[in-house]
A and B are shown apart, each in its own frame.
Chain A
Amino acid sequence: MAGLTINGVTKTFGDFDAVKDVSIDVRDGEFLAVLGPSGCGKTTLLRLVAGFENVTSGDIRIGREIVSTAQGCVPPEKRRVGIVFQNYALWPHMTVAENIGYSLKVAKVDAETRKRRVEDAMALVDLKGFGDRRPANLSGGQRQRVALARCLVAAPSLVLFDEPLANLDVHLRAAMEDEFAAFHKRTGTTIVYITHDQAEAMALADRIAVMDNGRLAQLAAPRDLYREPANEMVASFISEGIVLPAKVLIPAEGGHVKVDVLGQEVVVRCRPDEMRRAEAKICCRGPEISAAAPDEPGIDGTVRRAVYKGGVARIEFAPDADPSVVLHFEQPDPNPFEAGARARVRIASGWLIPGGASA
């Protein structure tokens, strides 16, 4: 077991920075999710940690050992990390038991011990009795579990997951999520989990590192990420946050501040040191928006679209004050909003996005 320290790592391909000055400290035994849209550099980060690519600058440490610097790197076969690949990467010419026992065989563990440890690993992922099967004869979920067993049999210090659920259907995903959580609890291994699925990351991770264009946008616990995004990218990326221009009217007091959003005065959460400023942005989410009576404070505008989703309708609302922004929220039945109609909505709360560029 060991922690992972990524320190100021940059990786350049040609003149393209795939990863730019990323620093992440993963504690021993922590479950860290790396989340981001495709092309954000998360897979490159995983390959840097695994040792398939070397850093252009910065360094990576696993436990106390420095494994990557710009001068050189420990090859993947010497790092003692486990990887669960997106498409499992099970060797088709070997049986399940041979797949799982491969790393022990390579390490010249004697046959007796090997057999016992392979069986233990298979029992741990509920695959008892599958040892003689070939990967081709397994279902998607079973293959995933073989991949898991193969990686834990060597007791790696660090396990990397590369979008392991991307190829599974929805039902299986939920089941495998539980499986991963149980796996983490049982083994206490440090895990770095790459995904583009927010729900997955939120459900599993202790902390989430959001990446954007090769940079680390924010590193925080799931709840903080949702409630207190550090910048616009994270605000709009997580759970379809709505980013609105706002004016801070008075300095912060007790973690709250009064702002003017599209003509409505709203009290929003904020960092304790926020000052009065004109060009601010707030992040609010669907549940914080609701219909307003004509005499209540609110925002006037037009309903762009109303899409019925069963039990609720998704409303897209264009405020008169700035028709280019869209407020969207879910309205439970009965739905008073109709596409094209005039309406008035109210923002109940929100989060003032910190002004500085720092995360």
Chain B
Amino acid sequence: MTVVVAALIVLLSILPMLRLIQEIFAPGGTLSTAAISAGLTNATTWVATGNTLVVGFFGTALAVILGTSVALLVTLTDVRGRSAFVLCYVMPLMIAPQVTALAWLQLFGPASPLLKMLGIAPPLGSRNPLYSPEGIILLLGVQYGPLVFLLVRAGLRKLPRELVEAARASGAGWFTVLRTIVLPLMTPSVVAAAALAFVSCVGNFGIPAFLGIPANYLVLPTLIYQRLAGGGPAVLGDAAFLSVLIGLIAMAGILAQEMMSRRRDYRISSTSLAAEPYELGKWRVPVQVVMWCLIVLILVLPLFGLLLSSLVPGYGIPLTAATATLDNYRFVLFEYGAARRAFLNSFALSLSAAAFAVLVAIPVAYLVAWSGKKWVKYLNLAVELPYALPGVVLAIASLLMFLKPIPFTGIQIYNTVWIILYAYLARFLVLALRPTISGYHQIDRALEEAARVAGASLFTRMRTIIFPLVAPAALAGGLLIFMTALSELTVSALLWSSGSETIGVLMFSFEQGGDSNYASAISAITVAITFVLMLLANLLAAHLPSGVLPWRD
């Protein structure tokens, strides 16, 4: 089992990265610095790098401010309706970035049905204010604020109440406690969350693709996309250099986090109950109103805007009871052949990726959680890599690996749906692995040992004891993969070909072609599917380790 698992991980995680590095230092098999110097001397490289850093930094800052404030309010005060709020606030994380982008564009653009209804729409032809770096930063903050929220909230929950109570007994008011005790102790969580948000921001493709390309404001992922779209496989070396550049920027973010958290010892020694919530008193209602306004602003309005645009018969036509139509839905679901293909492809891809990941996660997590061998740590790290690095990096690596037919077999998966499947398997495996590992940690190993002394072989134990016990966690992971992969764009935008379109690609091409209404209809459908899947996953919740379903409080 160990050998099979290790071989699989090498194939999915390590080989593509090695291939990418080879392309940079030794394109075509001979050592050369040509690729690097060509990349370094190109001015667009530097402009895009600068832009990436700008939206990365400010997007992260916004996400950290939003996510941390919400986490503090939700965890430390007595606001009501917490679980409903958490569900709504975390929702944008479950929605694909390009759907978020599209929804906001529909809300603010000159053709916005909502603004038109209110009679405050800018004239047609005027520029959408979101087509700008500020727009990208705003949406990155909205998209990844929940990510920061989840990490900071997990940290706050581990804060022992004695530390807060001791400070209050010493005479400190609530804000003093927050400033001198809570926030300093939360530094590691906030820094870790910031690093994760930074990696996500610089690697994001959907938002800068929808908001930046029309304004000709390119970041590295969109630059790679444009180069490849224009030049094809010929510019792969170029793209490889750029993708390594993003990888380096992302890793720099993670390293900065390591250095920050090493500077001081923040370890909390005791474990205890969480602190009593702070009573907001007369401020409770106003705070709740502000929090729900935030939800309306970042979730309800954009989705509402999306829904409205999907009902509009054509660009710029105002939406009234008379003009509202389901034609957009009919077109994308039944009439347009490429759309039907995209739905089929995306469903098949997400389903296979999810099923595969669940099946692989169970033995891999077994090794990681229970084998106690040292090299397994690296195995785990290798599985994390394709997800931790921006999706563009993996996509380019997959292209490089499969541009030529697979050695010895002659099978060509470049330009087919299989290369997308490969990339999905590599990228999303970790989403099933993490919950499965925490599932294993909740099981007493003696349960397996009891089966062993009862005479059961490894395979029998896996089938009859281990699988039934970790299945809920692994399946929840599979569900997360299905949701993420269904409207995935970053990887498939670079790997698709005619016949292997995905839902994400379809949305993107509709939007680029000016058919926002069709794009909105598809987005609305995927959001609805996501909702249904979240509800389905909730049914599993009782059998899951806490934290597996991010939206469950």
| A52 proximal to B (CB < 8 A) | yes
B456 touches A89 (CB 8 A): no
Binary CB contact string for chain B from 452 to 473 against chain A (1 if under 8 A, 0 otherwise): 1111110010001100110000
Interface string of A26-56 (1 = CB under 8 A from B): 0000000000000000000000001010000
> Shortest Cβ distance from B466 into chain A, in angstroms?
10
Residues B469 and A52 in contact, CB atoms below 8 Å apart: no
Please indicate the chain B residues that have their CB under 8 angstroms from the CB of A86 in the complex: 446
Within the assembled complex, what's the spacing in Å between the Cα atoms of A75 and B456? Answer: 11
Given contacts A89-B446, A89-B447, A106-B460, contact A154 B454 (CB under 8 A): yes
- B450 contacts A85, CB within 8 Å? yes
Closest-CB distance, A333 to chain B (whole angstroms): 45
Residues of A within 8 A of B454 (CB): 77, 102-103, 106, 150, 154
Cβ–Cβ contact A106 & B456, under 8 A? yes
B1 CB to closest chain A CB (Å) equals 14
Q: Does A87 contact B (CB under 8 A)?
A: yes
Indicate if B449 sits at the interface (CB-CB under 8 A): yes
Contacts of B444 in A (CB 8 A): 87, 89
With a cutoff of 8 Å between Cβ atoms, the chain A residues found around residue B449 in the complex are 50, 52, 76, 83, 85, 89
In the bound complex, CA of A86 to CA of B456 (Å): 20
Among A78, A89, A93, the residue within 8 A (CB) of B455 is A78
B376 at interface (Cβ–Cβ under 8 A)? no
In whole angstroms, how far apart are the Cα atoms of A92 and B543 in the complex?
Answer: 12
Question: What's the nearest-Cβ distance from chain B to residue A156, in Å?
Answer: 8
Q: Which of B446, B457, B460 has the largest number of chain A CB atoms within 10 A?
A: B446
Is A76 a contact of B453 with CB atoms below 8 Å? yes
Whether B451 is near chain A, meaning CB under 8 Å from some CB there, is yes
**When the two chains form their complex, are residues B469 and A77 in contact, meaning their CB atoms are under 8 A apart?**
no
Tell whether A82 is near chain B: CB-to-CB under 8 Å. Answer: yes
Chain B, interface SS category: helix
Tell me the smallest distance from the CB of A273 to a CB of chain B, in Å: 45
**Complex alpha-carbon distance, A89 and B446, angstroms:** 6
Q: How far apart are the CA atoms of A91 and B470 in the complex, in Å?
A: 12
Q: How close is A179's CB to chain B, nearest CB, in angstroms?
A: 19
| Best-surrounded residue of A77, A86, A90, A103 (most CB of chain B within 10 A) | A77
Asked if A89 contacts B469 (CB within 8 A), the reply is no
With A87-B446, A89-B447, A91-B447: A77-B468 Cβ-Cβ less than 8 Å:
no
| Contact of A107 with B by CB under 8 A | yes
CA distance A192 to B468 in the complex (A): 31
A315 to chain B, nearest CB (A): 39
- Complex: A112 Cα to B380 Cα, angstroms: 45
In the complex, the answer to whether B465 meets A77 with C-beta atoms within 8 Å is no
- How far apart are A102's CB and chain B's nearest CB, in angstroms? 5
Shortest Cβ distance from A151 into B: residue: B453
- Closest chain-B Cβ to A238's Cβ sits at a distance in Å of 29
Distance (Å) between the CB of B442 and the closest chain A CB? 11
**Measured between alpha carbons, how far is A64 from B457 in the docked complex, in Å?**
24
**Is A227's beta carbon under 8 Å from chain B?**
no
A95 to B449, CA, bound (A): 18
Which residues in A have their C-beta under 8 angstroms from that of B453? Answer: 50, 76-77, 79, 81-83, 151
In the complex, A304 Cα to B460 Cα: how many Å?
A: 62
Residues of B within 8 A of A103 (CB): 454-456
Residues in B neighbouring A90, C-beta threshold 8 A: 450
B471 CB to closest chain A CB (Å) equals: 9
Name the residue of chain B whose CB is nearest to the CB of A81.
B453
Select from chain A the residue with minimum beta-carbon distance to B467: A93
User: 1/0 per position for B495-535, CB-CB distance to A under 8 A?
Assistant: 00000000000000000000000000000000000000000
Given A77-B457, A85-B446, A87-B446, answer yes or no on A92-B452 (Cβ-Cβ < 8 Å). Answer: no
Min C-beta distance of B28 to chain A, whole Å: 48
Closest B residue to A86 using CB positions? B446
Q: Name the interface residues of A82-117: CB closer than 8 Å to any CB of B.
A: 82-83, 85-87, 89-93, 102-103, 106-107
Is B456 in contact with A102, judged by CB distance below 8 angstroms?
yes
Complex-state Cα separation, A57 to B193, whole angstroms:
49
Q: A89-B444, A92-B469, A93-B469 are in contact. Are A83 and B456 (CB under 8 A)?
A: no
Minimum CB–CB distance for A120 against chain B, Å: 17
Per-residue interface assignment for chain A, residues 271 to 311, with 1 indicating a CB less than 8 Å from any chain B CB and 0 otherwise: 00000000000000000000000000000000000000000
Q: Is the CB of B465 within 8 A of A106?
A: no
Please state if B450 and A89 are interface contacts (CB–CB under 8 Å): yes
The one of A81, A91, A154 that contacts B465, using a Cβ cutoff of 8 Å = A91
| B residues less than 8 Å from A154 (CB atoms) | 454-455
Cα(A16)–Cα(B321), bound, Å: 80
Q: For residue B450, which residue of chain A has the nearest CB?
A: A89
Nearest opposing residue in chain B for A160, CB measure: B453
B456: chain A residues within 8 A (beta carbon): 77, 102-103, 106
| Interface hits, B202-224 → A, CB 8 Å | none
In the complex, the chain A residue whose C-beta lies closest to that of B456 is A106
Q: Chain A contacts of B450 at CB under 8 A?
A: 83, 85, 89-91, 150
Which residues of the other chain, B, contact A102 by a CB distance below 8 angstroms?
A: 451, 454, 456, 464
- Chain B nearest CB: distance from A68 CB in Å? 15
A52 to B444, CA, bound (A): 15
Interface bits B355-371 vs A (CB < 8 Å: 1, else 0): 00000000000000000
Residues B446 and A107 in contact, CB atoms below 8 Å apart: no
Give residues of chain A (148-169) contacting chain B, Cβ–Cβ below 8 Å. 150-151, 154
Expressed in whole angstroms, the minimum distance between the Cβ of A134 and any Cβ of chain B is 13
Closest Cβ of chain A to B453, distance in Å, is 5
Q: Are B452 and A93 in contact (CB under 8 A)?
A: no
A77-B446 contact given A91-B465, A93-B468, A93-B469, CB 8 Å threshold: no
Alpha-carbon separation in the docked complex, A188 to B506 (Å)? 73
What does the 1/0 interface line of A183-196 toward B look like (CB < 8 Å)?
00000000000000
Q: What residues of B have a CB within 8 angstroms of the CB of A50 in the complex? A: 449, 453
With a CB–CB cut-off of 8 A, which chain A residues contact B465? 91
Instruction: List chain A residues, Cβ under 8 A from B457.
Output: 77
CB distance from B308 to the nearest CB of A (A): 48
Q: How far is the CA of A204 from the CA of B447 in the complex (A)?
A: 26
Residues of B within 8 A of A107 (CB): 455
Are the C-beta atoms of A77 and B452 separated by less than 8 Å? yes
Residue of A nearest to B449 (CB): A52
Given contacts A93-B468, A102-B451, A154-B455, 6 further A-B contacts (CB under 8 A): A50-B449, A50-B453, A79-B453, A89-B444, A103-B455, A106-B456
- CB<8 Å pairs between A and B, sample of 5: A83-B449, A85-B450, A87-B446, A90-B450, A102-B454
Chain B residues in contact with chain A, CB under 8 A? 444, 446-447, 449-457, 460, 464-465, 468-469
5 closest A-B pairs by CB: A103-B454, A89-B446, A89-B450, A76-B452, A93-B468
Q: Mark A residues whose CB is within 8 Å of B.
A: 50, 52, 75-83, 85-87, 89-93, 102-103, 106-107, 150-151, 154
